[in-house]
Amino acid sequence: MTRRWNNPLRDPRDKRLPRIAGPSSLVIFGVTGDLSRKKLMPAIYDLAHRGLLPAGFSLIGFARREWEHQDFGEQVHDAVAEHARTPFREAVWNRLSEGIRFVQGSFDDDDAFDRLAQTVKDLDAERGTGGNTAFYLSIPPWAFPVVTKQLARCGLAESTDDVWRRVVIEKPFGHDLASAKELNAIVNDVFPEESVFRIDHYLGKETVQNILALRFANQMFEPIWNANYVDHVQITMAEDIGLGGRAGYYEGIGAARDVIQNHLLQLLAFTAMEEPVSFEPNALRAEKVKVLGATKPVRPFDETTARGQYAGGWQGGKKVPGLLQEAGFPKDSTTETYAAVTLEVQNRRWAGVPFYLRSGKRLGRRVTEVAVVFKRAPHLPFDSTSTEELGQNALVIRVQPDEGVTMRFGSKVPGTTMEVRDVTMDFGYGHAFTESSPEAYERLILDVLLGEPSLFPVNEEVELSWRILDPVLEHWAKSGSAPEQYPPGSWGPGSADEMLTRSGRHWRRP
């Protein structure tokens, strides 16, 4: 008797089956860049290693270097060997490398784009890609419009009933509401919205998707997930490194534009949104749009926001420069390396609950987390000395590192008296599951090839996020003051602490 599940392609329990991409190719613009080397090319190999790419999958690199196909192949090989998550296997690499091509040229070079169009066509004939192509713009933001226009000019942007064309756009998507609208208009003029995949790599992280599982697959959290029980929410993205070597990207951008506008507001949306009617992309995005539309910055900004810049000093036993001493930053740079804002979600569920969002460089530790901090119990039937070390209950979703969830609650201290103190209960992905989480870019690139848009913010979400942040950015720009200096390895400027102590709260020290 033939057992059907002997063939993995036929095994109904094989969860890969519906997730293997169909015939397609991926064009990466900016292949010589940091992102491509460290994240994109390794992610493509990892997908190949996991058997999730189609047989004739092809990868085309586009850059200015005078490379041959083979030189590009070597670059991909080295990037994969150094950064891939899964082990290097010669057989996987050989199969992948057969489909690697390189097109040399710059973004204003019409001939180069014509050659690219020909390469896409040739690959279809040689390898059966079906002409289905995703164009990954891993390039400086000024180049987004010129590349999308070039793709339109040489006929690469148009999908038909049989052939799909998609564009993948990296952050930053604009630097304020007006520029984001302008960019959306340029991109949507060439690609219809369903063909635009804006990357917010946080949404590719297991732990971020787990916010939805935690909330909507369980019964015990949702009843208390509202203003009746929640005191406030803190969303933190802290990094312990500085900005050495990144002045070109970061100067004039700052922490608020770099991560609050995208990653942290998406975390807020997942945390605060209503249950979608289903996990269909449109249903999920509709709820995110609704919650972002209800989110407003709390005023007055001098009291509800803070910004800082790391000073030079000692961190982890090493002397480190301040931002103003980092190469490429002007000596009078007012770019903030720390930003904190207070937001309110103005709907029935969340009215009156502050959402504090903060992000900074050269802080005490690298951590990203969402902490839902609950109100105190309305009555404590203990004498006050028994509970003086009791804090507030909290549910903390650790996005990275040590991915997991921690619950903090009060517990009796062993002994003859009724003393109550905080304890924590911990779920760690590393302990609970044997399989390691895929990298965010693995998930997202596969979703692009599958045409699965759930984890990509739509134009409306991007614009709403800028609408939330713009008034704060304008206030900071008008204030004319420099961001407050903070010591490396600390938890940011004093004004950030004051921002919370005014209401009797304090930041977590993760």
Ligand X SMILES: NC(=O)c1ccc[n+]([C@@H]2O[C@H](COP(=O)([O-])OP(=O)(O)OC[C@H]3O[C@@H](n4cnc5c(N)ncnc54)[C@H](OP(=O)(O)O)[C@@H]3O)[C@@H](O)[C@H]2O)c1
At how many degrees (to 10) do helices 177-190 and 143-153 cross? 10
> Exactly one of 49, 83, 175, 263 is catalytic; which is it?
263
Q: Quick one: which segment of 4-12, 134-142, 186-194, 388-396 binds ligand X (CB under 6 A)?
A: 134-142
Applying CB under 6 A, which of residues 10, 64, 89, 502 lies at the interface with ligand X?
Answer: 64
Phi/psi at 120 (nearest 5 deg)?
A: -60, -40
Half-sphere exposure of 306 (CA within 13 A, CB side): 25
175 is catalytic: no
Instruction: Specify which residues 407 forms β-bridges with.
Output: 395, 425
CA dihedral 445, 447, 453, 455 (to 10 degrees): -70
| Beta carbon nearer to ligand X, 144 or 486 | 144
28 binds ligand X (CB under 6 A): no
Q: Please return the burial class of 99, using the count of CB atoms within 10 Å of its CB with bins 0-12, 13-18 and 19+.
A: buried
Query: Mask 91-130, x = binds ligand X (CB under 6 A)?
Result: ---------------xx-----------------------
82 binds ligand X (CB under 6 A): no
174: phi > 0 → left, psi -120 to 50 → alpha, else beta; which?
Answer: left
Provide the annotated binding site for substrate: 201, 205, 239, 258, 361
Say if residues 148 and 187 touch (Cβ distance below 8 Å): yes
76 binds ligand X (CB under 6 A): no
Contacts of 264 (CB under 8 A, 6+ apart): 235, 237, 357, 359
| Beta carbon nearer to ligand X, 172 or 438 | 172
205 binds ligand X (CB under 6 A): no
The structure tokens listed for 206 are 């297991």
138 binds ligand X (CB under 6 A): yes
134 binds ligand X (CB under 6 A): no
260 binds ligand X (CB under 6 A): no
Query: Mask 164-203, x = binds ligand X (CB under 6 A)?
Result: ------xxx-------------------------------
Say if residues 30 and 36 touch (Cβ distance below 8 Å): yes
CB atoms within 10 A of CB 493: 24
Provide the annotated binding site for NADP(+): 64, 171
Smallest distance from ligand X to CB 26, Å: 15
At how many degrees (to 10) do helices 90-97 and 41-49 cross? 120
Query: Mask 463-492, x = binds ligand X (CB under 6 A)?
Result: ------------------------------
Amino acid 356 reads Y
Contacts of 255 (CB under 8 A, 6+ apart): 307, 336, 337, 338, 339, 359, 360, 361
Q: Quick one: which segment of 24-32, 186-194, 235-243, 455-463 binds ligand X (CB under 6 A)?
A: 24-32
Residues of this chain that bind ligand X (CB under 6 A): 30-36, 63-65, 106-107, 138-141, 143, 170-172, 249
Catalytic residues: 263
